[in-house]
Chain A
Amino acid sequence: MGTAVFDLHALAPELILTGVAILILVYDLFIGDERKWTLPIVAAGGILAAGIPLVTLGLSDTTRSLFGGAYVVDGFALVLKGIFLGASFVVLLMSAQYVEEGDYHRGEFYFLLLSAVLGMLVISSARDMISLFVAIELVSSPTYLLAGWRKRDLKSNEAALKYFLLGVVSIAISLYGMSILFGVTGGALKFTEIASWMSAVPSGSAMGVAAMSIVLILVGFAFKIAAVPFHLWAPDTYEGAPLPVTAFLSVASKTAGFVGLFTLVYLAFPAQSQVWRPVIFGLAIATMTVGNLIAIKQTNLVRMLAYSSIAQAGYVLVPFAATTREGSLTAETFASSVTYLLIYTVMNLGAFAVIIAVARRTRSVEITSWSGLSKYAPGLAVLMTFFLLSLAGIPPTAGMWAKIFVFRSVISAGGLANGALAAVMGINSVIAAFYYLAVVKKMFFDPAPEEDLEAIPVPASLAGAIGIMAGITFVLFVIPDVAVRLGYGASLV
């Protein structure tokens, strides 16, 4: 274990990203409109550059601990940072044309995007309450602004306001819980300290207070991942925000919330599973079921995907809720959640990239406007089908493995309650297939509109984003071992 207080190598990704973000802000001031197209290239370059130390850190294969253990670069941090950087890179590809065509402040857009990514890198390594809180704020604040980026659009305003108000309230609840915990543990901040305090304290009033604080902290993060019943902001925000931002929120921001949950549950509160397990058990079932049921009724594709992403978060929660007879957390449950998140990120981004491509033509994300898409844009229709099938967990896509891994980890935990949880998830995946296929039906079985049926031109960067996501979704179907290994590599257990 590295002991350096300030390990430059370990912090290199964050430092590079900070540098590039500031560079963009300054660079944007000095270039004219005709050169603004270079901004996404600089941002993408920054993300790729930040990926380089990530690779070298991965190769060096040592856990680095900084600031007295408050900031750790281990397998978990590296895998999650990789996911974040990859997802942001793809979001940049999706944004480039979109931001250029709209009337946006481009420099600030990319600056805020990179700032949020920076927050995500920090949260992956955060191992005490303060860095966790700072990181989640760093993720959230820029995204509040990004959600309202279409400032002349009322829906976008509503999106930002709802997201901001509920986000702030939720994080305040978490903070309240953290402060109680700080008091009751006598000043413990680091997850390891909290964990050892929790396993040492037998019961009594202190334990009651601690249990309350655990629930409060989790509620804040349940808002972030849009778990039912804390999901109300998500559909409106997703619908109103610019599409690339929606994509970003639905994968990267959600994953950041999960990272907080992972580290809290597995590192800070492992000894108190009897407190948080029932909570997450209920959240998982409610999130899957409510998300899927409401998604069926949606007529707007983005709202449908918003509810779908709520349901998907429920699947990720399922392994958390799986109780082993010994009550211990296993590497398998952990890995299956991470693997699911990884694959979900890929397939959901892919679906949003196709939506952006099609919306350039249809100017609408109503499902009816996708009628007969296969007649005039067969490629996009096939790719959208591919991503939707992956979300539904049907071969030949990586999404099938994501579901199988989650099922497997829950069943392996044994017991009737877990069997029931798996059954609920099974029924849910059938419900989900129904609404995903409704879109497929629209695209393939329904007639195309009468007017012009020219092919839809797709900008190169967007085509790249779609291609990369489709490629990964298929490759991970053929060799899922890669995803599982990353999941196990990230395990905190």
Chain B
Amino acid sequence: MSAIETWALTLAVFLPAAGTLAILLVPKKQESAAKVTALIATGLALLAGIFIALRFDYSNSSSLQFETNVPWISAIGARYHIALDGISLPLVLLSLLVTFLCVIYSWKHFPEPHNPRVFLALVLLLETGMTGTFVAFDLILFFVFWELVLLPMYFLIGVWGGPNREYAAIKFFLYTLFGSAFMLIAFLAMYWKAGTFDIVELSLNNPGFAKSTALLVFGGLFLGFAIKVPMFPFHTWLPDAHTEAPTVGSVLLAAVLLKMGTYGFVRIALPVLPEAARSWAPWIGLLAVIGIIYASLCCFAQKDLKRLIAFSSVGHMGFVMLGIATLTPVGINAAIFGMVAHGLITGMLFFLTGSIHERYHTREIAELGGGMLKKLPILASLLAFISFASLGLPALAGFPGEFMSMLSAYNPAPGLSTGTFRTFMVVAGVGTVLVAGYFLWMLQRVNLGTVPERWESTEMHDVNGYEYAAWIPLILLTFICGVYPQIILGVTDGAVRGVTAAFGG
């Protein structure tokens, strides 16, 4: 490996953090300098990511690449072990891309109380935490990155958020912290039994817990990851956080932060504790389908556009979790596909909601009053397009993941009750109808009809240059992933088969 290959991943992770420091050194008055610094830092990190994607050995996606593994805290046996495989790669690229686009989008869209310098510094710090989580192969390192996202997001919501921001910020923080405390205890229990924090080693030689202990340890991991996903009934922080967060915060939360939870299941919980995973799987599947139905019903009741999309996130993540719960290659491939697709689509939806809010100064569906296709034709078309993607229209990114996820529930891994999972499949199927229902209803109320009187005379600007720049990549990818799902599945499949080998079938 050349020096640049050795360093590429470390650069992708830490360039944004370096950007944070650089921005804080920029004098207070020079806002544009801060923006340029942020653009350069995220841009370089994205370039490092693209370089990695180009040099990645796709024929060998199950083995770790771009690996760095050096001692870190020798006294407790933690190592600086970062690497990539087919599961990490799409998620890393997603984080790097979405953050970059967020910086572009925020160029002219700084929410009150403005202060772009600190805002961008926090976004960059968040990026290091997110990207790091997806490449860390040491449990302690994983935990540090995992916790690192808390603080920037807390401030993004708490300072730049909506009217109820303080409540939302602390709720987000405490929920995640509660989960991660138990996750840490589970990590340490694994270390105690196996004597290593290395995720690869733990996956190869599972810690030999007694059955009951394994179930408890899995429970600790479950709490940490399920709260982050979030799964029903741990989802209540999400609608608040999403609704109150500034646009960029919601985008990052939906597009990347939620994936940390599902990724944790695929990367750590399943491979390290396969037996316990098998016992937990039906319950995870149950909570997943409850989440799908419950979230869809909630969507019907929402008056706020952003809150509606927030609840739809809970439903979509339910499909992802259902795929994971089947413990099959198809299901987990579907899950990872679903994570990326949800990142693109829901990220885009939050961008659109932000822009709509900026123009109408309200997100109440009733107040928007319809007719947006007439008033803001491009914005409205984009909303329609991305809503169709979200409700799972074939040939767009939302479809393959959810379809495969239900398909996998037809045939779960050996040892899981086929009847139970087929029931889940049927329930999830009902869910897809509900999803289509609330999205179409929302479109009807927002896009169709005539422009209400109160907006007739209001001057509104349709999509501007910064918005185009931030959105076009997402729209293209939504289309490409839908037409050619192999672009993701081809990368993940090898690595996923490595994970599911333990479950047979």
Contact = CB atoms under 8 A, between A and B. Distances in A.
Contacts of A423: 182, 185
B75 A394 contact: no
Give the size category of A's interface with B: 20 to 34
A419 interface: yes
Nearest to B165: A445
A411 B170 contact: no
Given A400-B147, A437-B154, A445 B185 contact: no
Interface stretch (B173-181, B280-288, B399-407, B497-505): B173-181
Interface in B144-177: 144, 147-148, 150-151, 154-155, 158-159, 165-166, 169-170, 173-174, 177
B54 interface: no
A407 B148 CA distance: 19
B-side interface mostly: helix
A240 to B, nearest CB: 31
A404 B154 CA distance: 22
A423 B170 CA distance: 21
Contacts of A464: none
Interface in A394-432: 394-396, 400, 404-405, 407-408, 411-412, 414, 419, 422-423, 426-427, 429-430
Contact of A405 (B76, B147, B169, B174): B76
Nearest to A397: B151
Interface stretch (B187-195, B380-388, B459-467, B478-486): B187-195
Contacts of B189: 411, 419
Nearest to B129: A395
Interface in A380-406: 389, 394-396, 400, 404-405
B377 to A, nearest CB: 39
B174 A407 contact: no
Contacts of B185: 407, 411, 419, 422-423, 426
Given A394-B147, A395-B148, A412 B75 contact: no
A153 interface: no
Interface in B228-249: none
Contacts of A295: none
Contact of A412 (B144, B148, B181, B192): B192
A484 interface: yes
B73 interface: yes
A53 interface: no
Given A395-B147, A445-B165, A430 B181 contact: yes
Given A481-B74, A484-B73, A404 B155 contact: no
A445 B75 CA distance: 39
Nearest to B24: A382
B178 A430 contact: yes
26 contacts: A389-B151, A394-B147, A394-B177, A395-B144, A395-B148, A396-B148, A404-B76, A404-B140, A405-B76, A411-B185, A411-B188, A419-B185, A422-B188, A430-B174, A434-B170, A437-B170, A441-B158, A441-B170, A444-B155, A444-B159, A445-B159, A445-B169, A481-B75, A484-B73, A484-B76, A488-B75
Interface of B: 73-76, 140, 143-144, 147-148, 150-151, 154-155, 158-159, 165-166, 169-170, 173-174, 177-178, 181-182, 184-185, 188-189, 191-192, 216
Interface of A: 389, 394-396, 400, 404-405, 407-408, 411-412, 414, 419, 422-423, 426-427, 429-430, 433-434, 437-438, 441, 444-445, 480-481, 484-485, 488
